[in-house]
Amino acid sequence: MKRHRLPPGPSGYPIIGNFPLGARDPLKLFTEWSRQYGDIFYYRAFTIRVFFLNHPDLIESVLVSRTGDFIKGRGLQANRRLFGNGLLTSEGDFWRRQRRLCQPSFHRDRVEAYGGVMVEFAERMLAGWRDGEIRDLYREMSQLTLEIVAKVLFGAEAGGMIKDARRAIGPIMEFNTRGWSLMPFLRYLPTPLNLRYWLAVRRLERIVQAILHEHKGAEGGEDLLSALRQARDENGNGMSERQLRDEVMTLLLAGHETTALALCWTFYLLACNPMVEGRIREETQRVLGARLPQASDLARLPYAGGVVKESLRLYPPAYAIARVAARDLSVGGFCVPKGSSLVMSQWVTHRDPRYFENPEAFIPERWTDEFSKRLPSFAYFPFGGGPRVCIGASFAMVEAALLLVTILKKFHFELMPSQTISPVPAITLHPGDELKVILHKHQPGNAAPG
């Protein structure tokens, strides 16, 4: 047993140790270290000990088999001001109860029923687009997915809230870039970065208040907010306004930003791979003809599904998951002291040549049933896994595929040539500030892009 010995890893500077999140390209650095040091490596960032896990079995042991040994990671804890004690950040019995309350709104049949709203909102967006226009795709996709999640989960019309939401997301991403938020001593100082973050949280709180207020007039409905409002604990008490705020804030953010990014990265990959886009169009034309898609069509659109899976492999919006050891324990034969961070990165594992041939290439065709069956469970985990697996995983897969097909029926995107797109790891994986595209109206009957 290799107890009391640390895993291999990069040597660090005195006091600082290593601070990879501050590096010019943290994702590249993590990938290099993983290839160099193997299934588990170690580094220290100031006082924080980090164990980085690169083997599916180790990832599974943390996310699935030994969940009681860990709590959520420091990155999420640093955003308590934003998420409060919502589903993403809460722990223990309280989390279990909240998860049970939310779960019915994410059952497969409910999600399929949301499909109509998803396509309708996409059509509304497309009606405002013109051939030859330049648009910021990130902005368009965020707006669309925000409107959808507000409507289906809370019965709210989010159109008027978009501007405030847009202005808030930038500072929140900035706060979570380069690891500043992980340093408790920096988090509470009134620095310009923190002030912008605090203001952004206030903006989002105003949106959540508006949703809660609007919803009060429509109580007794079947949406998620009604379920949360009707819930009573063993003493007959309902949920406090503060807790409702935390749940709505969490679902509003987790439920739109990630899917918007998944779509942005998918369209980016399609713009670079026109043959793939042509194949989606062929499949869509064959299965749907001129009509719009419904969730029940998705089983007959496997190529479009493979494109979404492959995009989530190469550009996973949640590019890493972290946990903190709740006690001294052993992982992979190494002693992990209480308080250490354990990091599992989708970015790194999804590009591991042991599981994905030609890992850097965009190959949707690889996602055959046989390949999926052969793949170790945690070699591919865009939605995490175990009890804390993404509650919106089916929601996101249905939404991404439906919006992809609906949009491609009408438009093709050309990337603005002057941009350099490189992924920025903040809370989620961003394409930088903007993703500008030129819109080209698609002529029906023409399977090739353009």
Residues interacting with ligand HEM, by CB under 6 A?
72, 87-88, 99, 149, 250-251, 254-255, 258-259, 262, 317-318, 321, 382-384, 388, 390-392, 395-396
Partners of residue 71 on adjacent β-strands: 324
Cα(40)–Cα(55) distance, integer angstroms: 7
Nearer to ligand HEM, 208 or 251 (CB): 251
Nearer to ligand HEM, 262 or 287 (CB): 262
Residue 395 Cβ, how far from ligand HEM at the closest point, in Å? 4
Partners of residue 425 on adjacent β-strands: 429
Q: Which token pair is 123?
A: 């059509």
Residue labelled with tokens 């330049």? 134
Residue 134 in contact with residue 437, Cβ under 8 Å? yes
Question: Any alpha helices (H) in 61-191, and if so which ranges?
Answer: 74-77, 80-83, 92-102, 108-127, 137-154, 162-175, 184-187
Q: Which residues of 284-295 are buried (b: 16+ CB within 10 A; e: fewer)?
A: beebbeeeebeb
Residue 153 Cβ, how far from ligand HEM at the closest point, in Å? 6
Residue 440 Cβ, how far from ligand HEM at the closest point, in Å? 26
Nearer to ligand HEM, 43 or 319 (CB): 319
Nearer to ligand HEM, 165 or 439 (CB): 165
Query: What single-letter amino acid sits at 405?
Result: V
Nearer to ligand HEM, 424 or 439 (CB): 424
Residue 29 Cβ, how far from ligand HEM at the closest point, in Å? 21
- For ligand HEM, the nearest residue by Cβ is 392
Residue 5 Cβ, how far from ligand HEM at the closest point, in Å? 28
Nearer to ligand HEM, 83 or 449 (CB): 83
Residue 420 Cβ, how far from ligand HEM at the closest point, in Å? 24
Nearer to ligand HEM, 384 or 449 (CB): 384
Nearer to ligand HEM, 239 or 262 (CB): 262
Residue 322 Cβ, how far from ligand HEM at the closest point, in Å? 7
- Residue 341: which of 324, 326, 329 has the closest Cα? 324
Nearer to ligand HEM, 259 or 284 (CB): 259
> Which residues make Cβ contacts (< 8 Å) with residue 186, sequence separation at least 6?
180, 194
Residue 341 in contact with residue 410, Cβ under 8 Å? no
Cα(123)–Cα(126) distance, integer angstroms: 5
Cα(331)–Cα(206) distance, integer angstroms: 43
Q: What is the DSSP letter of 17?
A: B
Residue 149 Cβ, how far from ligand HEM at the closest point, in Å? 5
Q: What is the DSSP letter of 356?
A: S
> Which residues make Cβ contacts (< 8 Å) with residue 159, sequence separation at least 6?
147
Residue 428 Cβ, how far from ligand HEM at the closest point, in Å? 8
- Residue 173: which of 423, 435, 426, 429 has the closest Cα? 426
Residue 411 in contact with residue 129, Cβ under 8 Å? yes
